[in-house]
Structure formats: C-alpha cells, structure tokens
Amino acid sequence: MAIQDAGFEISGEVSDGSSLLELCATKNPDIVVMDLELPVDEAIRLIESILDINSRVSIVAISDVASGLSEIAFAVGARGFLQKPFTIHDLIDMIKKVTPVY
C-alpha cells in the first residue's frame, strides 16, 4: 500500500463513527484520515470526540467542496482537508504536512 510504502503505519480502518472512536481510544493514532460523509452536526461531534480522546491527534478531513465542511472541519480542530477527487500522492503529502513532531 502506498501509505505504508511512504513510511506510515496504518492502525486500522473503520466504517462508522463509533468504531473510529473505539480505534482512537485503543490504538492512539497520531493521524486520523476521515471521510466526512456525514451530516454537518455529526461530523462536528465526531471530530470533537476524537480530540477529546487525544488532543494531539492530527485529523485530515476528506469531503467534496459542495458539502461546505472544509471550513467547519478546520474550525473544530481538523489540521488538514482534502477535496475529492484527490490522488494518493495528495493524501501522502497531506499526511506528511500534519504529522506531529514529538
């Protein structure tokens, strides 16, 4: 997988918000890449809940520009945003940009 080839470890993949929160609580990832295919209020709560679990996690939100979620995602704590469609190289570049430095 290209993300692993770029030197990043994938902690898991989930298909819903509750599973994402459980993964964040158990695996404590540095970066969360999430597709915002949710109603706006649910997306906001999910981002805030992830940051409640770990305030240092970098969240990269993915959505299409028509959803209007990019500004909202940044306002509630996302550190990166990718507009659909994007390439795997765009994703890897964004992950590199938001990777926390400890």
Residues 50-100 pLDDT 10s: 999 999 999 999 998 766 788 889 999 999 999 999 999 999 999 999 998
Tens-digit pLDDT profile for residues 1-28? 789 999 999 999 999 999 999 999 999 9
Give the global pTM.
0.91
End-to-end CA distance of the chain: 25
Residues whose CB falls within 8 Å of the CB of residue 55, separated by 6 or more in sequence, listed in order:
none
Structure confidence at residue 67 (pLDDT)? 67
**What is the domain class of 13-98 according to CATH?**
alpha beta
User: Cis peptide before 29, with omega less than 30 degrees from 0?
Assistant: no
Torsion of CA 25, 49, 101, 9, to 10 degrees: 50
